[in-house]
Amino acid sequence: MALLYVFGGSIELEEKGNVLQKGDFALIRNELVSVVAPETAQLVLFLVNQQARFSRAGTLSA
């Protein structure tokens, strides 16, 4: 699974017809997705291992 985050600009996911703006994200599971950027866009792709161990205790303190 992957999480595609739009850090800046906007994009369109062709297969789904969704337009994502700055701050939006899409979850992508077991599929190929074509991304079209009508303008300059900054994207961040997080690859998520759903089988990885995790903790709900958190790793940061404030």
pLDDT by residue (tens digit) across 13-59? 987 789 999 999 999 998 899 999 999 999 999 999 888 887 777 66
Q: Rounded distance, CA 40 to CA 28, Å?
A: 22
What pLDDT score does 59 carry?
67
Give the HSE-up count for residue 54: Cα atoms under 13 Å, Cβ half-sphere. 7
* pLDDT for residue 53: 83
Query: What pLDDT shows up at residue 24?
Result: 97
For residue 56, the model assigns a pLDDT of: 77
pTM of the model: 0.79
Q: What's the pLDDT score for residue 16?
A: 73
Residue 1: the pLDDT is 93
Amino acid at 62: A
